[in-house]
Amino acid sequence: MFLPWTGMLGATLLLVGPLLLAALIVVPRKWVNGQVELVPRLAKLGTVSIFVLALLGPVLLIDQGYVQHTFLNWHGLQCGVYYDSLSAVVFLLVSFLGVVITRYACTYLEGEAERGYFLKWLCVTLGFVLMLLVSGNMVQFTMTWIATSVGLHHLLLYNSHRPSAVIAARKKYVISRLGDLCLITSVILIYHVFGTGDFRTLFALAKAVGNSGRIPPLVTPICLLLTGAAIMKSAQFPFHSWLPDTMETPTPVSALMHAGIVNSGGFLIVRLSSVVSLCPTALDTLAVVGAFTAVFASVVMLTQASVKRMLAFSTVAQMGFMLLECGLGAYTVAVLHIIAHSLYKAHAFLTSGNAVMSGSKSSIAAGDPAAAHPGRFAMALVSAMLVTFATASLPGISSLGCPGELVLGATLGMSVTYLLWRLWSTSVTPVVIATGLLLAAAVCIFYFGLHYVCHGILGYTLTQQTGFLTTNRDALTVVLVLLFGALLLFQSQLPQWSSRNWCRTLYVHARNGFYFNTVFNRAIKSLWPVQ
């Protein structure tokens, strides 16, 4: 048992650490640019210190599983900390990426006249993201949500002399303000319906409402507004076009944005899953929009010649799949997805120059590998599904017990199908077949093992928030499985179809993102002319 002041001290450090980074917002531009050696050292020291704090933070959860402390309460407006296993995991992730990205930025921008200004806003934005993760109530969460967007806006305008950078930043600004409006309205309604914005109290009240079965009418608009805010924050269709267009910004910003900030939409849904789960319509909306965005962005990604644009559309697709997981009620899987995607995408952006040097080509243009032979493709599909569902049935796993997990299991099986098809496309000797099956089993065991570990860490936090999901979702389950199955078939036969006129036409339209960015750019230019 910890002494009473231990939790308060930990909560203070968890809030003050990020607050010190965010406080750099008041430092004048001229001063930070003039301190060529001091500012990078302070940026590195600050991010490393917070990372150490993130490593020690989980110790605070040993006593009761969460830390909650209110520092200020002024006429109902509170400032405090709510730190649980979800906060601990994502806080550690973001602080680690903050150390890596900051160190990279210090070297990347060495010799730049505005390096101090850039590092200032990088630290400010990182500080607000970390404060968002430990916010104790809805008002504080919303304020840091908006502040994060403002910090990112300054980073996107680092190269403000380039018109394309300005247009992309303005698109992001407009979409962010629409998302902010959705979140603010939902917070007002939450206070009206539940009478509180304090997270711990709100979760308990939402659980009681779900158990009673008497859902207040205003819960539906609350959940739909939260869904809208998450969709806009995570660059989902049709609000996605700003993300691929932000390539004028320095690479460290791309890494921070794709590996951290766009995940805020998913974190919002997971954090408030106790509320969102009260509305099946909101969950279905997340599932449908996320699934469509994942398929749409995956097709567009295949046609991109620019490495960074390809990675950007990959992020859009991954965020779509992550929101699909939230819509299916698989919140622990969504958190696991956030962790894996953040680490992968930060590495991909920070090493994107290597891909340029190696002459990376788009998949359609390269036409490699050859189209899958129907017999071998069918063998790969059947084998992958058998291995996937056999692994899921092992004692202690049982990870396919609901429609949502069934969809995710089928999607994993399709991914393994692609792996086996690539392996068996050239040879189907007994040794190659056995190697493929062992590799497929290893992939499935690794996936379900990570799922098991993540559920063990987050089970207490999220299990109490996922008991209100509807079970009559068979039609949606079938549609989603067929959708991802069609995408797998399209990808397997793409090399053969690429010479056909309809596929060449599709390639041209997909290369241009089906013109959604063009329409949005024209609208922004007409409303907000670029000088």
Identify the weakest region by mean pLDDT among 205-214, 359-368, 373-382.
359-368
User: Is the pLDDT reported for residue 356 higher than 60?
Assistant: no
Q: Give me the pLDDT at residue 123, please.
A: 93
Question: Residues 207-224: what's their mean pLDDT?
Answer: 88
pLDDT tens digits for range 39-60? 889 999 999 999 999 998 888 8
Structure tokens at 146: 């908006």
CA atoms in the 13 A half-sphere facing the CB of 214: 4
Average pLDDT of the chain, as a whole number: 82
The CA distance from 22 to 131, in Å, is 9
The answer to whether the CB of 183 falls within 8 A of the CB of 145 is yes
Cα torsion through 167, 170, 174, 176, rounded to 10: 120
Question: Residues 209-218: what's their mean pLDDT?
Answer: 85
Where residue 140 falls (left for φ over 0; alpha for ψ -120 to 50; beta otherwise) is alpha
The answer to whether the CB of 125 falls within 8 A of the CB of 148 is yes
List of long-range contacts for 387-396, beta carbons under 8 Å, 24+ apart: 387/413, 387/416, 387/437, 387/440, 387/441, 387/444, 388/412, 388/413, 388/416, 388/440, 388/444, 389/413, 391/441, 391/444, 391/445, 391/448, 392/444, 392/448, 394/448, 396/452
Best-predicted range by mean pLDDT among 220-234, 388-402, 410-424? 220-234
User: Is the pLDDT reported for residue 447 higher than 70?
Assistant: yes
Question: Residues 287-315: what's their mean pLDDT?
Answer: 87
pLDDT tens digits for range 99-117? 999 999 988 888 888 888 9
Q: Beta-carbon neighbour count of residue 477 at 10 Å?
A: 17
Output the pTM of the full model. Answer: 0.87
Q: Give me the pLDDT at residue 3, please.
A: 47
Q: Give me the pLDDT at residue 92, please.
A: 93
Residue 14's nearest CA partner among 64, 63, 71 is 71
User: Is the pLDDT reported for residue 9 higher than 90?
Assistant: no
The answer to whether the CB of 372 falls within 8 A of the CB of 493 is yes
Most distant CA pair in the chain: distance in Å? Answer: 74
pLDDT tens digits for range 224-283? 999 999 999 998 988 988 888 887 788 888 888 877 788 899 999 999 988 998 888 898
Residue given tokens 């570990």 in the structure block: 453
The CA distance from 127 to 129, in Å, is 5
- Which residues in 326-342 are b (16+ Cβ under 10 Å) and which e? bbbbbbbbbbbbbbebb
Phi, psi of 102 (to 5 degrees): -65, -45
Q: Give me the pLDDT at residue 81, please.
A: 87
